[in-house]
Protein backbone atom coordinates (compact mmCIF):
# COMPACT_ATOMS: atom_id res chain seq x y z
CA UNK A 1 0.00 0.00 0.00
CA UNK A 2 1.49 3.33 -1.09
CA UNK A 3 1.66 6.45 1.04
CA UNK A 4 -1.34 8.13 -0.60
CA UNK A 5 -3.63 5.18 0.11
CA UNK A 6 -2.37 5.00 3.68
CA UNK A 7 -3.00 8.72 4.19
CA UNK A 8 -6.48 8.34 2.71
CA UNK A 9 -7.19 5.37 4.97
CA UNK A 10 -6.08 7.29 8.06
CA UNK A 11 -8.19 10.26 7.01
CA UNK A 12 -11.28 8.06 6.72
CA UNK A 13 -10.64 6.68 10.19
CA UNK A 14 -10.49 10.19 11.64
CA UNK A 15 -13.65 11.18 9.78
CA UNK A 16 -15.57 8.18 11.09
CA UNK A 17 -14.34 8.91 14.60
CA UNK A 18 -15.73 12.44 14.42
CA UNK A 19 -19.08 11.15 13.15
CA UNK A 20 -19.32 8.65 16.02
CA UNK A 21 -18.55 11.32 18.59
CA UNK A 22 -21.03 13.72 16.99
CA UNK A 23 -24.06 11.45 17.13
CA UNK A 24 -24.74 8.12 18.82
CA UNK A 25 -26.69 7.08 15.73
CA UNK A 26 -23.35 6.66 13.98
CA UNK A 27 -22.12 4.16 16.58
CA UNK A 28 -22.29 1.39 13.98
CA UNK A 29 -19.14 2.89 12.49
CA UNK A 30 -17.28 1.36 15.46
CA UNK A 31 -17.46 -1.90 13.53
CA UNK A 32 -15.58 -0.21 10.68
CA UNK A 33 -12.90 0.96 13.12
CA UNK A 34 -12.53 -2.57 14.44
CA UNK A 35 -12.18 -3.77 10.85
CA UNK A 36 -9.41 -1.22 10.27
CA UNK A 37 -7.59 -2.76 13.23
CA UNK A 38 -7.12 -5.89 11.13
CA UNK A 39 -4.97 -4.11 8.54
CA UNK A 40 -1.24 -4.76 8.27
CA UNK A 41 0.16 -1.24 7.94
CA UNK A 42 1.37 0.10 11.29
CA UNK A 43 0.20 3.67 10.59
CA UNK A 44 -3.34 2.44 9.98
CA UNK A 45 -3.19 0.27 13.09
CA UNK A 46 -2.01 3.17 15.24
CA UNK A 47 -4.75 5.39 13.82
CA UNK A 48 -7.47 2.79 14.46
CA UNK A 49 -6.11 2.17 17.94
CA UNK A 50 -6.25 5.87 18.80
CA UNK A 51 -9.70 6.18 17.22
CA UNK A 52 -11.15 3.31 19.26
CA UNK A 53 -9.63 4.78 22.39
CA UNK A 54 -11.10 8.21 21.67
CA UNK A 55 -14.56 6.77 21.00
CA UNK A 56 -14.81 4.68 24.13
CA UNK A 57 -13.23 7.32 26.33
CA UNK A 58 -16.07 9.56 25.19
CA UNK A 59 -18.83 7.01 25.78
CA UNK A 60 -17.45 5.74 29.06
CA UNK A 61 -17.18 9.27 30.42
CA UNK A 62 -20.57 10.33 29.08
CA UNK A 63 -22.60 7.31 30.18
CA UNK A 64 -21.67 4.64 32.74
CA UNK A 65 -22.58 1.75 30.47
CA UNK A 66 -19.91 -0.46 32.00
CA UNK A 67 -21.53 -0.70 35.41
CA UNK A 68 -23.23 -3.92 36.31
CA UNK A 69 -22.70 -7.40 34.96
CA UNK A 70 -23.01 -8.13 31.30
CA UNK A 71 -26.36 -9.86 30.69
CA UNK A 72 -28.26 -10.71 27.56
CA UNK A 73 -31.02 -8.20 26.93
CA UNK A 74 -34.02 -9.38 24.94
CA UNK A 75 -35.79 -7.05 22.56
CA UNK A 76 -39.12 -7.68 24.24
CA UNK A 77 -38.40 -6.44 27.77
CA UNK A 78 -35.70 -3.88 27.14
CA UNK A 79 -35.87 -0.43 25.72
CA UNK A 80 -33.64 0.89 22.99
CA UNK A 81 -31.26 2.56 25.40
CA UNK A 82 -30.56 -0.72 27.14
CA UNK A 83 -30.00 -2.41 23.82
CA UNK A 84 -27.51 0.27 22.75
CA UNK A 85 -25.75 0.04 26.09
CA UNK A 86 -25.49 -3.74 25.79
CA UNK A 87 -24.20 -3.45 22.23
CA UNK A 88 -21.59 -0.89 23.28
CA UNK A 89 -20.44 -3.28 26.00
CA UNK A 90 -19.88 -5.95 23.37
CA UNK A 91 -17.92 -3.54 21.18
CA UNK A 92 -15.90 -2.36 24.15
CA UNK A 93 -14.99 -5.96 24.98
CA UNK A 94 -13.94 -6.50 21.37
CA UNK A 95 -11.89 -3.29 21.52
CA UNK A 96 -10.13 -4.46 24.68
CA UNK A 97 -9.22 -7.71 22.92
CA UNK A 98 -7.86 -5.79 19.94
CA UNK A 99 -5.82 -3.45 22.13
CA UNK A 100 -4.32 -6.37 24.05
CA UNK A 101 -3.50 -8.17 20.79
CA UNK A 102 -1.68 -5.06 19.60
CA UNK A 103 0.75 -5.51 22.50
CA UNK A 104 2.30 -8.46 20.70
CA UNK A 105 2.58 -6.71 17.34
CA UNK A 106 5.98 -6.64 15.68
CA UNK A 107 5.98 -2.83 15.59
CA UNK A 108 6.99 -1.09 18.81
CA UNK A 109 5.07 1.98 17.67
CA UNK A 110 1.83 -0.02 17.56
CA UNK A 111 2.58 -1.53 20.97
CA UNK A 112 3.15 1.86 22.56
CA UNK A 113 0.01 3.29 20.96
CA UNK A 114 -2.07 0.43 22.34
CA UNK A 115 -0.55 0.71 25.81
CA UNK A 116 -1.23 4.44 25.86
CA UNK A 117 -4.90 3.91 24.98
CA UNK A 118 -5.29 1.21 27.63
CA UNK A 119 -3.76 3.46 30.28
CA UNK A 120 -6.17 6.23 29.25
CA UNK A 121 -9.12 3.87 29.65
CA UNK A 122 -7.92 2.85 33.09
CA UNK A 123 -7.87 6.50 34.11
CA UNK A 124 -11.64 6.80 33.76
CA UNK A 125 -13.59 6.30 36.96
CA UNK A 126 -16.18 4.06 35.33
CA UNK A 127 -13.60 1.58 34.05
CA UNK A 128 -11.54 1.85 37.20
CA UNK A 129 -14.53 1.08 39.40
CA UNK A 130 -15.53 -1.94 37.33
CA UNK A 131 -13.44 -4.81 38.70
CA UNK A 132 -14.66 -7.11 35.94
CA UNK A 133 -13.43 -4.81 33.16
CA UNK A 134 -10.10 -4.09 34.86
CA UNK A 135 -9.58 -7.79 35.48
CA UNK A 136 -10.21 -8.60 31.81
CA UNK A 137 -7.85 -5.85 30.67
CA UNK A 138 -5.03 -6.80 33.04
CA UNK A 139 -5.37 -10.50 32.25
CA UNK A 140 -5.16 -9.72 28.54
CA UNK A 141 -2.19 -7.40 29.03
CA UNK A 142 -0.19 -9.89 31.12
CA UNK A 143 -1.01 -12.70 28.72
CA UNK A 144 0.41 -10.72 25.80
CA UNK A 145 3.43 -9.32 27.65
CA UNK A 146 4.82 -12.68 28.70
CA UNK A 147 3.88 -14.68 25.63
CA UNK A 148 6.18 -17.65 25.23
CA UNK A 149 6.98 -17.07 21.56
CA UNK A 150 7.72 -13.32 21.42
CA UNK A 151 10.44 -11.28 23.08
CA UNK A 152 8.50 -8.45 24.74
CA UNK A 153 11.44 -6.72 26.42
CA UNK A 154 10.86 -3.49 24.51
CA UNK A 155 7.24 -2.92 25.53
CA UNK A 156 7.63 -4.29 29.08
CA UNK A 157 9.86 -1.32 29.76
CA UNK A 158 6.85 0.94 29.08
CA UNK A 159 4.45 -0.91 31.42
CA UNK A 160 4.77 1.56 34.36
CA UNK A 161 2.58 3.88 32.27
CA UNK A 162 -0.36 1.70 33.31
CA UNK A 163 0.25 2.02 37.02
CA UNK A 164 1.01 5.72 36.87
CA UNK A 165 -2.25 6.35 35.04
CA UNK A 166 -4.45 5.82 38.09
CA UNK A 167 -4.45 6.50 41.80
CA UNK A 168 -5.17 2.81 42.38
CA UNK A 169 -1.75 1.68 41.24
CA UNK A 170 -1.34 -0.77 44.13
CA UNK A 171 -4.55 -2.56 43.14
CA UNK A 172 -3.40 -2.80 39.52
CA UNK A 173 0.05 -4.09 40.50
CA UNK A 174 -1.55 -6.64 42.81
CA UNK A 175 -3.78 -7.79 39.96
CA UNK A 176 -0.76 -8.03 37.64
CA UNK A 177 1.08 -10.23 40.13
CA UNK A 178 -1.96 -12.50 40.44
CA UNK A 179 -2.10 -13.02 36.69
CA UNK A 180 1.68 -13.48 36.38
CA UNK A 181 1.46 -16.30 38.87
CA UNK A 182 -1.46 -17.83 36.96
CA UNK A 183 0.48 -17.65 33.71
CA UNK A 184 3.52 -19.34 35.26
CA UNK A 185 1.38 -22.19 36.59
CA UNK A 186 -0.41 -22.66 33.28
CA UNK A 187 2.76 -22.97 31.20
CA UNK A 188 3.97 -26.50 30.54
CA UNK A 189 7.36 -27.11 32.14
CA UNK A 190 10.11 -26.70 31.21
CA UNK A 191 9.06 -23.22 30.14
CA UNK A 192 10.54 -21.58 27.07
CA UNK A 193 13.45 -19.22 27.64
CA UNK A 194 11.59 -16.31 26.00
CA UNK A 195 8.63 -16.75 28.36
CA UNK A 196 10.92 -16.77 31.39
CA UNK A 197 12.82 -13.70 30.20
CA UNK A 198 9.57 -11.80 29.70
CA UNK A 199 8.43 -12.84 33.18
CA UNK A 200 11.67 -11.74 34.80
CA UNK A 201 11.66 -8.41 32.97
CA UNK A 202 8.09 -7.76 34.12
CA UNK A 203 8.93 -8.77 37.69
CA UNK A 204 11.82 -6.29 37.72
CA UNK A 205 9.53 -3.55 36.41
CA UNK A 206 7.07 -4.22 39.21
CA UNK A 207 9.88 -4.27 41.77
CA UNK A 208 10.97 -0.81 40.61
CA UNK A 209 7.65 0.67 41.81
CA UNK A 210 6.58 1.78 45.27
CA UNK A 211 4.82 -1.26 46.71
CA UNK A 212 2.58 -1.66 49.73
CA UNK A 213 2.82 -4.61 52.11
CA UNK A 214 0.31 -6.72 50.19
CA UNK A 215 2.16 -6.27 46.90
CA UNK A 216 5.48 -7.04 48.59
CA UNK A 217 4.12 -10.34 49.86
CA UNK A 218 2.73 -11.17 46.44
CA UNK A 219 5.99 -10.22 44.76
CA UNK A 220 7.90 -12.48 47.14
CA UNK A 221 5.67 -15.44 46.31
CA UNK A 222 5.95 -14.80 42.56
CA UNK A 223 9.76 -14.56 42.71
CA UNK A 224 10.09 -17.73 44.78
CA UNK A 225 7.83 -19.64 42.37
CA UNK A 226 9.75 -18.27 39.40
CA UNK A 227 13.15 -19.28 40.77
CA UNK A 228 12.00 -22.89 41.16
CA UNK A 229 11.82 -23.27 37.38
CA UNK A 230 14.59 -24.68 35.25
CA UNK A 231 16.22 -21.94 33.20
CA UNK A 232 19.08 -21.30 30.81
CA UNK A 233 22.54 -20.35 32.05
CA UNK A 234 22.33 -16.87 30.51
CA UNK A 235 19.01 -16.12 32.19
CA UNK A 236 20.38 -17.50 35.45
CA UNK A 237 23.23 -14.99 35.27
CA UNK A 238 20.85 -12.14 34.41
CA UNK A 239 18.76 -12.98 37.46
CA UNK A 240 21.79 -13.02 39.74
CA UNK A 241 22.88 -9.67 38.34
CA UNK A 242 19.57 -7.97 39.14
CA UNK A 243 18.47 -9.92 42.21
CA UNK A 244 19.98 -7.37 44.60
CA UNK A 245 17.55 -4.70 43.38
CA UNK A 246 14.52 -6.99 43.46
CA UNK A 247 15.15 -8.35 46.96
CA UNK A 248 14.81 -4.88 48.46
CA UNK A 249 11.12 -4.89 47.51
CA UNK A 250 10.42 -8.37 48.87
CA UNK A 251 8.58 -8.82 52.16
CA UNK A 252 11.10 -11.47 53.23
CA UNK A 253 14.40 -11.34 51.29
CA UNK A 254 15.80 -14.17 53.42
CA UNK A 255 13.66 -16.56 51.38
CA UNK A 256 16.34 -16.17 48.69
CA UNK A 257 18.99 -17.69 50.96
CA UNK A 258 18.80 -21.20 49.51
CA UNK A 259 18.82 -19.95 45.93
CA UNK A 260 21.85 -17.70 46.46
CA UNK A 261 23.71 -20.27 48.58
CA UNK A 262 23.28 -22.96 45.94
CA UNK A 263 24.38 -20.49 43.27
CA UNK A 264 27.46 -19.59 45.31
CA UNK A 265 28.40 -23.27 45.55
CA UNK A 266 28.18 -23.85 41.79
CA UNK A 267 31.48 -22.12 41.10
CA UNK A 268 32.76 -20.04 38.22
CA UNK A 269 30.85 -17.01 36.99
CA UNK A 270 27.67 -18.12 38.77
CA UNK A 271 29.42 -17.95 42.15
CA UNK A 272 30.87 -14.58 41.32
CA UNK A 273 27.49 -13.12 40.41
CA UNK A 274 25.76 -14.45 43.52
CA UNK A 275 28.25 -12.66 45.79
CA UNK A 276 26.40 -9.36 45.95
CA UNK A 277 23.05 -10.89 46.84
CA UNK A 278 24.54 -12.98 49.62
CA UNK A 279 26.45 -10.02 51.00
CA UNK A 280 23.26 -7.93 51.14
CA UNK A 281 21.49 -10.69 53.07
CA UNK A 282 24.40 -10.80 55.52
CA UNK A 283 24.82 -7.05 55.83
CA UNK A 284 21.19 -5.86 55.90
CA UNK A 285 19.18 -8.89 56.99
CA UNK A 286 21.60 -10.54 59.45
CA UNK A 287 22.06 -13.76 57.52
CA UNK A 288 24.54 -16.02 59.28
CA UNK A 289 26.88 -17.30 56.57
CA UNK A 290 30.23 -18.07 58.23
CA UNK A 291 31.90 -19.52 55.12
CA UNK A 292 31.38 -16.43 52.99
CA UNK A 293 34.89 -15.00 53.23
CA UNK A 294 36.51 -18.42 53.00
CA UNK A 295 34.71 -19.04 49.70
CA UNK A 296 35.51 -15.53 48.51
CA UNK A 297 39.17 -16.23 49.31
CA UNK A 298 39.04 -19.42 47.24
CA UNK A 299 37.81 -17.42 44.23
CA UNK A 300 41.10 -15.50 44.03
CA UNK A 301 42.68 -17.69 41.36
CA UNK A 302 44.74 -16.94 38.24
CA UNK A 303 41.64 -17.48 36.10
CA UNK A 304 39.91 -14.48 37.63
CA UNK A 305 42.26 -12.11 35.78
CA UNK A 306 40.96 -13.28 32.40
CA UNK A 307 37.32 -13.74 33.42
CA UNK A 308 34.60 -11.81 31.63
CA UNK A 309 33.34 -10.41 34.93
CA UNK A 310 36.76 -9.42 36.28
CA UNK A 311 35.82 -5.78 36.83
CA UNK A 312 32.62 -6.71 38.67
CA UNK A 313 34.47 -9.23 40.83
CA UNK A 314 37.11 -6.77 42.01
CA UNK A 315 34.50 -4.08 42.58
CA UNK A 316 32.46 -6.43 44.78
CA UNK A 317 35.52 -7.83 46.55
CA UNK A 318 36.68 -4.30 47.37
CA UNK A 319 33.22 -3.60 48.80
CA UNK A 320 33.14 -6.80 50.86
CA UNK A 321 36.56 -6.07 52.35
CA UNK A 322 35.87 -2.40 53.05
CA UNK A 323 34.76 -2.91 56.65
CA UNK A 324 37.36 -1.92 59.24
CA UNK A 325 35.84 -4.47 61.65
CA UNK A 326 37.21 -7.44 59.73
CA UNK A 327 40.04 -9.26 61.55
CA UNK A 328 43.55 -8.43 60.39
CA UNK A 329 44.46 -12.04 59.65
CA UNK A 330 41.55 -12.27 57.20
CA UNK A 331 42.42 -9.11 55.29
CA UNK A 332 46.11 -10.06 55.31
CA UNK A 333 45.23 -13.36 53.65
CA UNK A 334 43.53 -11.56 50.76
CA UNK A 335 46.40 -9.08 50.39
CA UNK A 336 48.98 -11.85 50.34
CA UNK A 337 47.00 -14.07 47.96
CA UNK A 338 46.49 -11.24 45.49
CA UNK A 339 50.11 -10.08 45.65
CA UNK A 340 51.28 -13.64 44.94
CA UNK A 341 48.89 -13.94 41.98
CA UNK A 342 50.13 -10.61 40.62
CA UNK A 343 53.53 -12.13 39.87
CA UNK A 344 51.98 -14.15 37.03
CA UNK A 345 49.11 -11.85 36.08
CA UNK A 346 48.89 -9.76 32.89
CA UNK A 347 49.79 -6.10 33.19
CA UNK A 348 46.17 -4.98 32.91
CA UNK A 349 45.31 -7.07 35.99
CA UNK A 350 48.32 -5.88 38.00
CA UNK A 351 47.15 -2.30 37.46
CA UNK A 352 44.07 -3.30 39.48
CA UNK A 353 45.75 -5.61 41.99
CA UNK A 354 48.29 -3.16 43.41
CA UNK A 355 45.77 -0.39 44.30
CA UNK A 356 43.47 -3.11 45.65
CA UNK A 357 46.21 -4.31 48.01
CA UNK A 358 47.05 -0.78 49.11
CA UNK A 359 43.36 -0.14 49.83
CA UNK A 360 43.37 -3.11 52.20
CA UNK A 361 46.46 -1.77 53.95
CA UNK A 362 45.00 1.75 54.17
CA UNK A 363 41.88 0.42 55.91
CA UNK A 364 43.86 -1.84 58.23
CA UNK A 365 47.05 -0.10 59.41
CA UNK A 366 48.06 -3.28 61.26
CA UNK A 367 48.93 -4.75 57.84
CA UNK A 368 51.72 -2.21 57.34
CA UNK A 369 54.02 -4.62 59.12
CA UNK A 370 53.81 -6.83 56.02
CA UNK A 371 55.48 -4.05 54.04
CA UNK A 372 57.94 -2.92 56.71
CA UNK A 373 59.56 -6.28 57.40
CA UNK A 374 63.20 -6.35 56.34
CA UNK A 375 63.88 -10.06 56.79
CA UNK A 376 62.59 -11.04 53.39
CA UNK A 377 62.62 -14.75 52.49
CA UNK A 378 65.60 -15.71 50.36
CA UNK A 379 63.67 -18.55 48.74
CA UNK A 380 60.02 -19.15 48.01
CA UNK A 381 59.92 -22.16 50.32
CA UNK A 382 61.08 -20.06 53.28
CA UNK A 383 58.00 -17.84 53.07
CA UNK A 384 55.70 -18.75 56.00
CA UNK A 385 52.63 -18.11 53.85
CA UNK A 386 50.81 -21.31 52.83
CA UNK A 387 49.27 -20.64 49.39
CA UNK A 388 47.39 -23.96 49.19
CA UNK A 389 45.58 -23.45 52.51
CA UNK A 390 41.83 -23.02 51.96
CA UNK A 391 41.12 -21.31 55.28
CA UNK A 392 42.35 -17.69 55.45
CA UNK A 393 42.83 -18.06 59.21
CA UNK A 394 45.38 -20.85 58.75
CA UNK A 395 47.43 -19.55 55.80
CA UNK A 396 49.84 -17.54 58.04
CA UNK A 397 49.65 -14.49 55.80
CA UNK A 398 50.17 -12.11 58.71
CA UNK A 399 53.46 -13.84 59.55
CA UNK A 400 54.72 -13.21 56.03
CA UNK A 401 55.51 -10.02 54.14
CA UNK A 402 54.56 -8.57 50.77
CA UNK A 403 57.90 -9.20 49.10
CA UNK A 404 55.97 -9.61 45.85
CA UNK A 405 55.54 -5.84 45.73
CA UNK A 406 59.31 -5.41 45.70
CA UNK A 407 59.48 -7.88 42.84
CA UNK A 408 56.88 -5.86 40.94
CA UNK A 409 59.13 -2.81 41.28
CA UNK A 410 61.14 -4.36 38.45
CA UNK A 411 58.12 -4.98 36.23
CA UNK A 412 58.56 -4.32 32.52
CA UNK A 413 55.67 -1.83 32.64
CA UNK A 414 57.05 1.43 34.12
CA UNK A 415 53.67 2.49 35.51
CA UNK A 416 53.35 -0.78 37.44
CA UNK A 417 56.88 -0.36 38.73
CA UNK A 418 56.02 3.13 39.99
CA UNK A 419 52.84 1.91 41.69
CA UNK A 420 54.69 -0.91 43.44
CA UNK A 421 57.34 1.48 44.79
CA UNK A 422 54.77 3.51 46.72
CA UNK A 423 54.31 2.59 50.34
CA UNK A 424 52.10 5.24 51.92
CA UNK A 425 49.03 5.43 49.73
CA UNK A 426 45.59 6.70 50.73
CA UNK A 427 42.52 4.65 49.93
CA UNK A 428 41.37 5.25 46.37
CA UNK A 429 38.35 4.55 44.21
CA UNK A 430 39.01 1.61 41.90
CA UNK A 431 36.14 2.27 39.51
CA UNK A 432 38.34 4.24 37.09
CA UNK A 433 40.82 1.37 36.58
CA UNK A 434 38.63 -1.74 36.78
CA UNK A 435 37.99 -1.76 33.03
CA UNK A 436 41.66 -1.32 32.09
CA UNK A 437 42.76 -3.65 29.28
CA UNK A 438 46.07 -4.43 27.61
CA UNK A 439 44.96 -2.39 24.59
CA UNK A 440 44.41 0.62 26.84
CA UNK A 441 47.94 0.30 28.23
CA UNK A 442 49.50 0.02 24.77
CA UNK A 443 47.46 2.97 23.51
CA UNK A 444 48.55 5.14 26.43
CA UNK A 445 52.21 4.45 25.69
CA UNK A 446 51.74 4.92 21.96
CA UNK A 447 50.50 8.45 22.59
CA UNK A 448 53.69 9.27 24.49
CA UNK A 449 56.01 8.29 21.64
CA UNK A 450 57.34 11.23 19.65
CA UNK A 451 56.93 10.56 15.97
CA UNK A 452 60.15 12.34 14.96
CA UNK A 453 62.28 9.97 17.05
CA UNK A 454 60.97 6.70 15.63
CA UNK A 455 63.83 4.73 13.94
CA UNK A 456 63.04 3.77 10.36
CA UNK A 457 66.19 1.74 9.55
CA UNK A 458 68.34 -0.80 11.34
CA UNK A 459 71.49 1.00 10.16
CA UNK A 460 71.86 4.74 10.11
CA UNK A 461 72.18 6.07 6.55
CA UNK A 462 75.40 7.84 5.59
CA UNK A 463 74.70 9.60 2.33
CA UNK A 464 73.46 7.29 -0.40
CA UNK A 465 75.52 4.27 0.68
CA UNK A 466 74.26 1.59 3.05
CA UNK A 467 76.18 -1.12 4.85
CA UNK A 468 77.39 -3.97 2.70
CA UNK A 469 78.31 -1.65 -0.18
CA UNK A 470 74.65 -1.46 -1.13
CA UNK A 471 74.00 1.68 -3.16
CA UNK A 472 70.54 3.23 -3.06
- d(C-alpha 172, C-alpha 2), whole Å: 41
- d(C-alpha 242, C-alpha 250), whole Å: 13
- d(C-alpha 62, C-alpha 55), whole Å: 11
The pLDDT tens digits of the residues spanning 339-366 come to: 999 999 988 889 899 999 999 999 998 8
Backbone angles phi, psi at 468, to 5 degrees: 80, 20
Q: Answer left, alpha or beta for residue 121, where phi above 0 means left and psi between -120 and 50 means alpha.
A: alpha
- d(C-alpha 417, C-alpha 414), whole Å: 5
- d(C-alpha 472, C-alpha 462), whole Å: 11
- Nearest CA to 211 among 260, 171, 258, 179? 171
- d(C-alpha 461, C-alpha 472), whole Å: 10
User: How many Cβ atoms are within 10 Å of 418's Cβ, its own excluded?
Assistant: 12
Residues for the chain: how many in total? 472
DSSP state of 462: B
Q: Where are the alpha helices (DSSP H) in 37-79?
A: 42-62
How confident is the prediction along the chain (472 residues), in pLDDT tens digits per residue? Answer: 678 888 888 899 999 999 988 888 888 898 999 998 888 888 999 999 999 989 988 887 665 455 444 455 455 545 677 777 788 888 888 998 999 999 988 899 999 999 999 888 887 765 556 657 788 888 889 989 888 788 888 889 888 888 776 667 888 889 899 999 988 888 776 668 888 999 999 999 999 888 899 999 999 999 999 999 888 889 998 999 889 889 989 999 999 999 999 998 887 788 888 888 988 998 889 888 888 899 899 989 988 888 888 888 898 899 889 888 899 999 999 999 999 999 999 888 898 999 999 999 999 988 888 887 766 666 767 788 998 999 999 999 988 888 888 889 988 888 888 888 887 777 888 887 877 777 877 777 777 766 666 666 666 666 665 556 555 4
Backbone angles phi, psi at 471, to 5 degrees: -100, 130
- d(C-alpha 164, C-alpha 100), whole Å: 18
300 prior amide bond cis, ω within 30: no
The pLDDT tens digits of the residues spanning 380-406 come to: 677 889 989 999 999 999 888 888 888
How much is the pLDDT for 394? Answer: 92
- d(C-alpha 165, C-alpha 160), whole Å: 9
Query: Are residues 116 and 161 in contact, defined by beta-carbon separation less than 8 angstroms?
Result: yes
How much is the pLDDT for 126? Answer: 56
How much is the pLDDT for 459? Answer: 67
Backbone angles phi, psi at 259, to 5 degrees: -60, -45
Answer positive or negative: Cα dihedral of 288, 317, 341, 265: positive
DSSP state of 382: G
CA atoms in the 13 A half-sphere facing the CB of 201:
19
- d(C-alpha 405, C-alpha 156), whole Å: 51
DSSP state of 260: H
Query: Are residues 253 and 223 in contact, defined by beta-carbon separation less than 8 angstroms?
Result: no
CA distances (Å), origin 36, targets 43, 93, 110, 117, 452:
11, 16, 13, 16, 71
Amino acid sequence: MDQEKIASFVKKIKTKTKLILKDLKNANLIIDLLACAQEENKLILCASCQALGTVFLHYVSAKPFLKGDKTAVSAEDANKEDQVSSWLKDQFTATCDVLCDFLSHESLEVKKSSLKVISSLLQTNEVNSSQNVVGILIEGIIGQLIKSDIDQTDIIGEVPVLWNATDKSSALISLCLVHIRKQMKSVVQPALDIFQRNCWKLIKQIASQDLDDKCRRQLTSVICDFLKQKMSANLYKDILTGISVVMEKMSSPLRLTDFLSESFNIGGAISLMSLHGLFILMHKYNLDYPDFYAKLYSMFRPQIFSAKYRARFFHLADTFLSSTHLPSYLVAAFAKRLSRLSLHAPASAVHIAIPFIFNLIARHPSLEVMIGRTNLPSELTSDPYIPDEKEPANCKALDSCLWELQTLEHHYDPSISQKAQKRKVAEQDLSSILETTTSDIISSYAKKIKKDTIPLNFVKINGLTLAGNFVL
